[in-house]
Structure 1
Amino acid sequence: MPDLIHNLEAVQQRIAMAAHVAGRDARSIALLAVSKTFPAEDVRAAHVAGQCAFGENYVQEAITKIEALADLRGTLEWHFIGPLQSNKTRPVAEQFDWVHSVDRLKIAQRLSEQRPDNLPALNVCLQVNISGETSKSGLSVAEAVEVAREIAALPKLKLRGLMAIPEPVGSIDEQRVPHRRLRELFERLRDEGLQLDTLSMGMSNDLEAAVLEGATIVRVGTAIFGARDYSN
């Protein structure tokens, strides 16, 4: 799949250029390839091209894909990044390495209870509704501080940081504003003693702004795999 390989290289170049402008080491920014709606064959091709971390939004689709790629277990890193209902936490707790979209304490408690003892702690990020959109999941900045403390104390979870999906805006300067707010919240939580190291922010259209504001994981789908077909 030459297009996919070219796209991966192009995204890595975008990250490297943004990191250079920010005075950061590009190696401090991980690329999460968002493979939702794309088949397991595309994930396999991306893996052959050197990509190891993949993000999924839909539980059943993701589990089917993980099972189809069972021969690559141990070399793929699976991140759940979509809204998570409480009745679907078990397969996520059992099959994933990361969950970026923890938006309430109940979800974190269920993931903690359902994480198998033989697996390492599940890496989690707290999702913050940084733009205050009524249509978006996530905690408010005010709620996030207390919930972060409670989640950090749960067994079999490791609170790594924060995630956000800011409201789309036009210019890079406008894009930087919500990413900056998330970084400031991240720094506040670190100042209060939480051992956080991850800012999951930035997608295909705003990854440069996210990198300039300190993103450590950018979640990129369309720029790698192409336009999505949601007809199914």
Structure 2
Amino acid sequence: MQTIAERLKLAHERIDQATARSHRPSNSVQLLAVSKTKPVSDIRQAYEAGQRLFGENYIQEGVEKIQAMAELDDIQWHMVGPIQSNKTRLVAEHFDWVQSVDRLKIARRLNEQRPSHLAPLNVCIQLNLDGEASKSGISAEELSALVEQIEGFENLRLRGIMAIPQAGVTDAQQNDTLEQLAELFGQYHTKLSNFDTLSVGMSGDLEAAVAHGSTMVRVGTAIFGARRG
């Protein structure tokens, strides 16, 4: 059985190969290790292997892990799951990034509840271009208004967009969605100074995402193995 360190190495090799095929610099895509449902011991193994960016889907679980590893101040913690309004304070107080902002109410509460002694909270707007009812995210038509609103919040720093493209579709359908995401990202990347993150691509589709300009891939299973729950 492969170790977490070995799986991390393979994930980085996949990213390097994908960026090379797309004639992009090898350091142009960051790896976010999605550690939901995995124990702190697994995260520590990944940390010891050099991983510093970790993503959590469940707020309470994520906060417990952040607190358990508080002595490691170089970890960057990302919330990548849906956020209920009654949990925004926990997110604002503990995480460095939120990739799943999909409505003004959540953005406003995060801005109001971000502690003054912390740097602005980095946020991405979650898009759902395929209109899947089972997933969070806004449509392309709603993006402009939410961008403008978040840009006005002093305790948030809008960094980009995040998406989970529909699974089980044809290559043509997948490419169409990824092309739309790349186009939307490009529009704001050129206009906004901090808008530098296109978070798309996971264990099964990171190569296609990198080919379409992803700057951050979110990998869980390929690093930590199958999840519970």
TM interval, short-chain normalised: over 0.9
Q: CA deviation at 1:155?
A: 1.0
CA distance in 1, matches of 2:127, 2:197: 13
> What residue is the counterpart of 2:136 in the other structure?
137
What does residue range 1-232 of structure 1 map to in structure 2 within 5 Å?
3-72=3-72, 74-169=73-168, 172-191=171-190, 193-195=191-193, 196-230=195-229
CA distance in 2, matches of 1:57, 1:126: 15
TM-score, normalization: structure 2?
A: 0.96
Q: CA deviation at 1:174?
A: 4.1
Secondary structure of residue in 2 paired with 1:78: strand
CA distance in 1, matches of 2:132, 2:173: 16
Specify whether residues 169 and 177 from structure 1 end up closer, same or farther in structure 2 by C-alpha distance, changes over 3 A only.
Answer: farther
CA distance in 2, matches of 1:44, 1:21: 32
Identity %: 53
Unaligned 5+ segments in structure 1 are: none
CA distance in 2, matches of 1:175, 1:51: 29
TM-score, normalization: structure 1?
A: 0.95
Deviations 1:6-34 (A, max 9, x none): 11011100000000010101201100000
Secondary structure of residue in 2 paired with 1:70: coil
Secondary structure of residue in 1 paired with 2:168: coil
CA distance in 1, matches of 2:189, 2:161: 11
Secondary structure of residue in 1 paired with 2:129: coil
Contact 1:172–1:209, Cα closer than 8 Å, also in 2: no
Which letter maps to 2:163? Answer: A
CA distance in 2, matches of 1:104, 1:26: 34
CA distance in 2, matches of 1:122, 1:75: 16
Unaligned 5+ segments in structure 2 are: none
Aligned length: 228
Specify whether residues 172 and 6 from structure 1 end up closer, same or farther in structure 2 by C-alpha distance, changes over 3 A only.
Answer: farther
CA distance in 1, matches of 2:221, 2:174: 18
Secondary structure of residue in 2 paired with 1:28: coil
Deviations 1:125-168 (A, max 9, x none): 00000211122110100001111111111111000000000101
Which letter maps to 1:142? Answer: E
Secondary structure of residue in 1 paired with 2:27: helix
Which letter maps to 1:11? Answer: A
Contact 1:29–1:218, Cα closer than 8 Å, also in 2: yes
- What RMSD over aligned residues (CA atoms) do the two structures have, in Å? 1.4
CA distance in 1, matches of 2:59, 2:167: 25
CA distance in 2, matches of 1:169, 1:178: 13
Which letter maps to 2:106? Answer: I
CA distance in 2, matches of 1:188, 1:170: 26
Secondary structure of residue in 2 paired with 1:166: coil
Q: CA deviation at 1:209?
A: 0.6
CA distance in 2, matches of 1:5, 1:171: 33
CA distance in 2, matches of 1:136, 1:163: 12
Secondary structure of residue in 1 paired with 2:185: helix
Secondary structure of residue in 1 paired with 2:71: helix
Secondary structure of residue in 2 paired with 1:126: strand
Q: CA deviation at 1:35?
A: 0.2
